[in-house]
A = this chain, B = another copy of it.
Amino acid sequence: MKNKLYFNSNSRKEEQRAFESIQKEQTSIGYYSLPDQDVTQILEYSNTLSEDVTTIAVIGIGGSSLGAKAVYEFMKPVKDLHRKLYFFESTDPINITDLLSKFDVNKTHFLVISKSGSTVETFSIYKYIYSLQSDPTAYTFITDPDSPLEKYAKEISASVLYLPDNVGGRFSVLSTVGLVPLAMCGIDINSLLAGARFIKKSFFEHGYTQDMLLTKAVYYAKNHAQYNINCIFAYSETLKYFCQWYVQLWGESLGKHQRHSAFHVGLTPIGLIGPKDQHSFLQLIMEGTRDKSVTFIKIEDFHENIVIPDITLPHLEMLDSLNNLPFSKLINMQCDSVIEALLDQGDIPLDTITIQSVTEDNIGSLMFYYELLTSLVGELIDVNTYDQPGVEAGKIILKSKLQEL
């Protein structure tokens, strides 16, 4: 993974301060140690599934689904996976029925994932699916130790796996939450962690990533009042769900009351896919209000070598310059052209991340890079990166509405 910035933070002192805070956080925040874990037990557990199980279905929402979905959808088009993975993450009845029509419940293993063990969406869906499949061996529950969900699982003699300590939902992709469903489908979770470990080492041990991440974090934090929207513009359809994962990570971590002020702050994440969104959102970046930074993500080698054929279409000869061009080269030329056009504007903060190919270790690197960036920016804009108090009010209102029924 390479990262090139087209801006400077000009603030070594702030960079140093942020780095030291993050170093300290490692003792209290759990996600930092995930790349170093031993996954033998997870792999062993995944291998206990019968060959007859052709589908894995995650019943979980937000941090319980977005990470595994991002990795799965990234790898799916390029890897021969031995099971399909579905996600029940909505109470929309049309969606539930539609999903259930896509696979055989009797050949499915369900992963019920809820940290608190009482998420309304997860349990309404679980109850519904349980009415179709009541065999406890068809389920694995992933939750915190001593949660009511753990007690329930033990009561019905179903398997329970645990979340590690101090790992919030949106930072949990490299824990059991993400690793179990991915391993069950045939994703190489050791490579995924190796990619994350590479970034961790490079960041904490004064490697190349440290400079990039610190400069970028300080720049975003210093300029957050002007550039309050941070776009990812990823040039591959495989990164569509990575963008959704990023939106949760960034938005929920950084949209807060400041710890030491009465002010609301927040950085708004936007995920875009190129070249499609050149025909949608690009106009707004190019000529709209100067409130957006953009990070382009490119894939160097798609390992899919289809080429535009050498065909001349009568009356469309002006398109002959495309002939014999590999699509992988075209898409990256499109990306480079947009970067050049935006750089010409002079006042849009840009950087580019290039990953080598569509592999587990590359997505692992990319995700850990974004987790570190989120932690750094959160520290610098003075918020608690790891809580989400703003979502409680709606839950309390719902609870009282339910009790009124």
Residues of A participating in the B interface, judged by any CB pair closer than 8 Å = 61-63, 66, 77-78, 89-98, 117-118, 120-121, 123-124, 127-128, 130-131, 148-149, 151-152, 155-156, 169, 228-229, 235-238, 244, 247-248, 251-252, 254-257, 264-268, 270, 273, 275-276, 278-292, 302, 304-306, 308-309, 311, 313-316, 318-319, 321-323, 325-328, 330-331, 333-334, 336-338, 340-341, 344, 358, 388-391, 393-395, 397-399, 401-403, 405
Residue in A91, A286, A341, A389 whose Cβ sees the most chain B Cβ within 10 Å: A91
Cross-chain pairs A/B with CB under 8 angstroms, 26 sampled: A61-B279, A78-B94, A91-B334, A93-B302, A93-B304, A94-B304, A118-B316, A118-B319, A120-B322, A120-B330, A123-B316, A152-B314, A155-B314, A169-B279, A229-B229, A252-B279, A252-B284, A255-B287, A268-B289, A268-B291, A278-B394, A282-B394, A283-B390, A333-B398, A336-B401, A344-B393
Chain B residues with Cβ below 8 Å from A286 are 255, 390-391, 393
Chain B residues with Cβ below 8 Å from A121 are 275
- Please tell me if the beta carbons of B284 and A251 are within 8 angstroms of each other in the complex: yes
Residue in A123, A169, A275 whose Cβ sees the most chain B Cβ within 10 Å: A275
Known contacts A288-B266, A316-B152; A331/B127 CB under 8 A? no
- Please tell me if the beta carbons of A309 and B127 are within 8 angstroms of each other in the complex: yes
Chain B residues with Cβ below 8 Å from A61 are 275-276, 279
Chain B residues with Cβ below 8 Å from A78 are 94
* Closest beta carbon of chain B to A348's beta carbon, Å: 10
- Please tell me if the beta carbons of A237 and B127 are within 8 angstroms of each other in the complex: no
Chain B residues with Cβ below 8 Å from A323 are 127
* Closest beta carbon of chain B to A22's beta carbon, Å: 21
In the bound assembly, the distance between CA atoms of A148 and B319 in angstroms comes to: 11
Known contacts A95-B77, A394-B338; A247/B308 CB under 8 A? no
- Please tell me if the beta carbons of A149 and B316 are within 8 angstroms of each other in the complex: yes
- Please tell me if the beta carbons of A93 and B311 are within 8 angstroms of each other in the complex: no
* Closest beta carbon of chain B to A101's beta carbon, Å: 9
- Please tell me if the beta carbons of A280 and B251 are within 8 angstroms of each other in the complex: yes
* Closest beta carbon of chain B to A266's beta carbon, Å: 3
Chain B residues with Cβ below 8 Å from A305 are 93
* Closest beta carbon of chain B to A80's beta carbon, Å: 12
- Please tell me if the beta carbons of A280 and B321 are within 8 angstroms of each other in the complex: no
